Amino acid sequence: MNSFTHKEIRQLCRQGKFQSPTPGFASGYVQANLVVLPKSVAFDFLLFCHRNPKPCPLLDVTEVGDAEPRMVAPGSDLRTDLPRYCVFRHGELIEEVTDIKQLWRDDFVAFLIGCSFSFETALLSAGVPVRHIEEKKNVPMYKTNLSCMSAGVFSSPLVVSMRPLLPADAIRAVDIMSRFPKSHGAPVHLGDESAIARRTFITSCRNYHRLFHALWKSTRC
Amino acid sequence: MNSFTHKEIRQLCRQGKFQSPTPGFASGYVQANLVVLPKSVAFDFLLFCHRNPKPCPLLDVTEVGDAEPRMVAPGSDLRTDLPRYCVFRHGELIEEVTDIKQLWRDDFVAFLIGCSFSFETALLSAGVPVRHIEEKKNVPMYKTNLSCMSAGVFSSPLVVSMRPLLPADAIRAVDIMSRFPKSHGAPVHLGDESAIARRTFITSCRNYHRLFHALWKSTRC
């Protein structure tokens, strides 16, 4: 499956034939998290991303009402080309769907935020093992004690993804990840995760999507 | 005069005693251009800056209605602490004033954009001469043939500032300026300016302020 190109995966998503998380897919291409918001709160969210560039590195922001990310994936359609979408109303998750064509509005703005899946190919190429890819699972995530900087109506604890590594590999990972600032860059933490993270361990795809706005990475020795 | 600290210069501005351009002042501190806009177009302008990070590197963006840039200059007041302000209505310059206290509105957002004046201290420290400081003039500016990426209602040609340098100094300047990405970073051009610039030469303070949204630098050998 993961020999498919980025365009083939988007096509499979559009046809509803690919609905799972994407670690290990479209290797060598940047992966992104999608946030779609009405224009009324788009300034606040763009400011939130500007103030928190490490958890929320912006790859592309569409014009109001436009579902095509013209800079990073011209020709694609953000309403159909992702595996799944979590739909929130008034802050509550109300459904999970495979496209949002019926929900799209003329006042919607789409934000594409860099994802740590993007540098995993570089880690593997350098001989640094990536446990969740080996185990064909989604990456483990933690809600931390750290806060993002708030902006307008948006505030959030920092959420991190975690990759278990031996110390020598962790050092190489820092070196490699530092070169990917648009995919979160260097880790925020090394060593015992209790220094920054509550024991809230997030594994489900649902929660993964819910916490789009604070994806981040840490590396545990 | 240019032995005053950044705080002293702000205080003099607040008292209406300092009203000129600021090259050479508050050396070692980042200098900024100010743009104030109503919330209704703030998303478009923030997106314009995000899409054009070299001419418009954002240093700080205030919350709606807040005139204090809490990240870069806590305690300062953007309505009074700048030398002069150009006031535009419907795209036309209508007046130039020394404070905007009476004009400030609850729906205003302030954007602070990095300025090439910031790296001039570093150039001088490295022995690279800066002609307009030697001559106690404002920096020369050109409107170029290049376009910024548009965003919503905002579009603009790229405007550059120009520093005449010998080739060896220009090479050092590129090296030094590359380390100041929030003050425009490396130049966009070296050599004959006709390759990118119309013969529109902008010198007045008024035009300088008018072209806030596309300040940039080039270096001419």
Across all residues in chain A, what is the average pLDDT?
A: 83
In angstroms, the CA A120 to CA A27 distance is: 8
Q: Give the range with max mean pLDDT: A95-99, B16-20, B183-187.
A: A95-99
pLDDT of residue A1: 43
User: What's the mean pLDDT in A109-128?
Assistant: 89
Across all residues in chain B, what is the average pLDDT?
A: 83
Higher pLDDT residue, A73 or B162? A73
pLDDT of residue A211: 29
Chain A contact present for B174, CB below 8 A? no
Distance between alpha carbon B27 and the CA centroid of its chain, in Å?
15
Chain A contact present for B47, CB below 8 A? yes
pLDDT of B141 above 80: yes
Contact list in A for residue B71 (CB cut-off 8 A) is: 51
pLDDT-above-90 percentage for chain A: 45
Residue closest to B83 by CA, chosen among B118, B33, B139, B117: B33
Q: Which residues contact A189 (CB under 8 A, 6 or more apart)?
A: A160, A195, A196, A218, A219
Instruction: Write the class of the CATH domain A117-220.
Output: alpha beta
Compute the nearest-CA separation of B204 from chain A (Å). 32
Chain A contact present for B43, CB below 8 A? yes
Chain B contact present for A16, CB below 8 A? no
pLDDT tens-place string over residues B153-170: 999 998 888 888 888 888
User: What's the mean pLDDT in B122-145?
Assistant: 86
User: What's the mean pLDDT in B26-42?
Assistant: 91
- The H or E element that residue A163 is part of is strand A157-164
pLDDT of residue B199: 53
Asked if B166 and B176 touch (Cβ cutoff 8 Å), the reply is: no
pLDDT of residue A113: 94
pLDDT of B184 above 90: no
pLDDT tens-place string over residues A174-195: 899 888 888 888 888 887 777 7
In angstroms, the CA A13 to CA A18 distance is: 5
What is the distance between the terminal CA atoms of chain A, rounded to a whole angstrom? 31
In angstroms, the CA A55 to CA A181 distance is: 10
Asked if A22 and A45 touch (Cβ cutoff 8 Å), the reply is: no
In angstroms, the CA A68 to CA A195 distance is: 41
pLDDT of B47 above 90: yes
pLDDT of residue A198: 63
In angstroms, the CA B55 to CA B172 distance is: 21
Instruction: Write the class of the CATH domain B116-220.
Output: alpha beta
User: What's the mean pLDDT in A103-113?
Assistant: 96
Residue closest to B59 by CA, chosen among A51, A45, A122: A51
What ipTM was predicted for this assembly?
0.73
Residue closest to B210 by CA, chosen among B80, B95, B70: B95
Angle at CA A77, nearest 5°, toward A76 and A78?
A: 120
Give me the residues paired with residue B96 across strands: B86
Compute the nearest-CA separation of B134 from chain A (Å). 37
pLDDT of A163 above 90: no
pLDDT of residue A209: 31
Q: Give the range with max mean pLDDT: A209-218, B26-35, B184-193.
A: B26-35
CATH homologous superfamily of B6-114 equals PSTPO5379-like (3.40.1640.10)
In angstroms, the CA A48 to CA A37 distance is: 13
DSSP B94-137: EEEES--TTT--TTEEEEEEE-GGGGHHHHHHTT---HHHHTT-
Contact flag A50-B47 (C-beta cutoff 8 Å): no
In angstroms, the CA B144 to CA B157 distance is: 6
Helices B39-51 and A42-51: crossing angle in degrees, nearest 10, is 40
Contact flag A61-B42 (C-beta cutoff 8 Å): no
Domain residue limits, chain A:
6-114, 117-220
In angstroms, the CA B70 to CA A208 distance is: 32
Angle at CA A118, nearest 5°, toward A39 and A64?
A: 15
pLDDT of residue B147: 92
pLDDT of B200 above 60: no
